[in-house]
Structure 1
Amino acid sequence: MNPFVFACITPHGSEIIEELAKPYPELMKKTRLSMESLGASMKQSNPDTIIVLTPHGTRIDEQFAIVNCEHMFGEMEDYGAKISMDRKVDRMLAGAIADHAKKKGLPVATLGFATSEGPLSCMPLDWGVVVPLYFMPETSIVVITPSRSLSFEDHLLFGSAMAEAVAQSGKRVGLIASCDWSHAHDETGPYGFHEAARQLDEQVVTLLHTAHLEGMMQFEPEFIEHAKPDGIWQALMLAGAIAPNERKVEFLSYEVPTYFGLMCCAFH
């Protein structure tokens, strides 16, 4: 049984947030509308806590990193505009996920900073968390960062541990896999151009439409390196958390307004 009240795959480009897109508000408008739809669905599901899987949090080689401090704070600034966000961490759920993952033999680290509790017990919110949460209801959170040093199978297994912890918690929990896709769509971008970017993104669109996220495990390392996606690992964690026969997929949008691909997909 799917233990999540709502789950989704979202991108995290800063210009999705209209305040940070000036003077180019139309640049990611298609994705922005999809994000607003995902946010409305998440709000309707009324979660107590939202788990966010991000590639840009504190990364530890060969370990899954789970934030377990009192709260998290982050700011984003672009084109002279700034947004800030402060969210309470669901420490009980964070700890339970870590325990379930360790029981499966997975390497896990729980992260804190400064003090064990109180207002100074705070970790930074990265843009992979801030952007999707901007569109979501304000709840407590659990933030998890995968490790690309670990196998795809480990990411699936971690997802199943996460689902077990959520099911046993008795809480209403939402899940966000924060994923941008290939970053090599534009020769003027920071990663240049490679034809693999279009090819990988097209294959991911097909896999999402068919709810076969595990198909990403077949991507060759060289193919991934050329295309430069940052979404595969979080998507596989989601795949491990929601069994194939329980995935009711709604694919909302795909676009490449700059040098990287943006996809929005809901799992009801």
Structure 2
Amino acid sequence: MGKIIGHFIMPHPPIVVSEVGKGEENQALSTVNACSKVADEIQSLEPDTIIVITPHGPLFRDAIAITDGTYISGNFGNFNAPEVQLDLNINAPLSESIVTYAYGMGVPIVSITEEAADNFDIDYELDHGAMVPLYFINKKYTNYKLVHITYGLLSEVELYRFGIAIKEAVNLSNNKTVIIASGDLSHKVTEAAPYGYSPHGKEFDEKVMKHLENGDVLSIFKMDKNMIECAGECGLRSFHILLGTMDRYKIRGELLSYEAPFGIGYGVMRFDTSEGDREDLLQKISEIRKESLKKIRDNEDEYVRLARETLEHYVKTDNLINIPPYVTKEMLKEERGVFVSLKKDGELRGCIGTIFPAYDNIAEEIIHNAVEAGQRDPRFNPVEEEELEDIIYSVDVLMPAEKASRETLDSKKYGVIVRSGSRSGLLLPDLSGVDTVDEQIEIALRKAEIREDEPYSIERFEVVRHS
């Protein structure tokens, strides 16, 4: 019988690799020392397999990716240290067993072979999310095979369930296994952060670390979604999977280090597990998710409700909805451009809109754009019926645009329209991950296929956001 003998959280900033940092790693010395301490413990455990869960391998919206082969390598060439290379053997039988268990539990997963990587136009190599933790481990211990997993943009329930699948596959193997959840915390902890500052950054880091220390799994899944989105993290999905691998155990986390020297939170943690807690957390996590979605549905205004009911009706009947009686007089009388946005599991699932009104009133605008966003956004496959209960909607009603300059913009208050000849691009205000005017204009130009060195005009507009 196999067993998971160690559970760890490690960050992955390449700068803590001495050959990359060239001295700057000393600004994150607490992280460096904690990662070395994890490596010491893994050396003493002598696992024959290490499973790394990373955000930065082949990332899919609708599936978890697991490397399928016998060998994989990578180096820090993208960070000006190509001489630092890792060459690792893959535990192919365990990887295949995890795939089998995941399929059996209804978790979408894709095997990434070298051929599949070519088909997906991705590199078959180790990513820095895996290499940074393994860099420290390989200094102390190398007698292991690797299972390389990239989380997918799935729901918390599916990720936790996948963790259970990993545990079951390991238990029925002959492997002594260590699991590392690779992930940085908020990328917006201080003003020094390269991704901008958010007051939610420090709040997120403090809460997630405290819940993990206390072994309070359910509180992790109850965390405020807006706070998580504003924090700009890349580790929480790794943690969801890691927690699933400890399902049915009592857990306590030992925080080995936390710091944010570059404005990005780095946390290093080890876990102790013990028998005795047989609580069905998967069911409770499912209930938390359902309650959260119900609360959102119960608080919809007429604009959001119309967008949701329109898409649900269209997906199920292939017909447009008739205007419902709850639609307000304002929605029937006013003509405005409208954008309808869909999100699923915190990620964009579709967004289509009109800058100027194309229909007789706001209600008709919402109806048509809700269908377009859900069925014809070229970036996504059409929304299917089984997804409908997981979709979160927002509706932006556009106010008239006015001429503007870069100096008069505010990415939180104003949306922006750029124009050059017949080409134009629009970006809504106050979008997650768009924190500066320069980012806003850059994205709008890219959407319009306008080069930055071309002449172009700028307009700004405000929106009334219903979400």
**TM score, norm. by length of structure 2:** 0.54
The residue matched to 2:215 in structure 1 has which SS? coil
Find out whether 1:226 has 2:230 as its counterpart. yes
Contact kept? 1:55, 1:231, Cα under 8 Å: yes
Matched residue, 2:46: 46
Letter of the structure 1 residue corresponding to residue 188 of structure 2: A
Query: Of residues 165, 169, 187 in structure 2, which corresponds to 1:165?
Result: 169
1 CA distance for matches of 2:156 and 2:219?
A: 11
Offset, 1:110: 0.7
Matched residue, 2:151: 146
Matched residue, 1:119: none
Letter of the structure 1 residue corresponding to residue 129 of structure 2: G
Greater Cα shift, 229-238 or 12-21:
12-21
Greater Cα shift, 153-162 or 13-22:
13-22
2 CA distance for matches of 1:86 and 1:55?
A: 20
Aligned pair count? 262
Contact kept? 2:19, 2:81, Cα under 8 Å: no
Find out whether 1:83 has 2:87 as its counterpart. no
Question: Pairwise CA RMSD of aligned residues?
Answer: 2.1
Offset, 1:189: 3.2
Find out whether 1:95 has 2:100 as its counterpart. no
Give the alignment of 1:1-268 within 5 angstroms: 3-77=3-77, 78=79, 82-114=83-115, 123-136=124-137, 137-138=141-142, 139-148=144-153, 150-243=154-247, 245-268=249-272
Contact kept? 1:21, 1:27, Cα under 8 Å: no
Contact kept? 1:21, 1:79, Cα under 8 Å: no
1 CA distance for matches of 2:33 and 2:207?
A: 23
**TM score, norm. by length of structure 1:** 0.91
Contact kept? 2:2, 2:175, Cα under 8 Å: no
Offset, 1:80: 5.8
Letter of the structure 2 residue corresponding to residue 67 of structure 1: T
Offset, 1:263: 0.5
Q: Which runs of 5+ in 2 are unaligned?
A: 118-122, 273-467
Structure with max Cα Rg: 2
Q: Deviations over 1:95-114 (max 9, x none)?
A: 00010011011111111014
Change (3 A) 1:128 1:104: same
2 CA distance for matches of 1:54 and 1:267?
A: 18
Change (3 A) 1:243 1:80: closer
Offset, 1:188: 4.5
The residue matched to 1:252 in structure 2 has which SS? strand
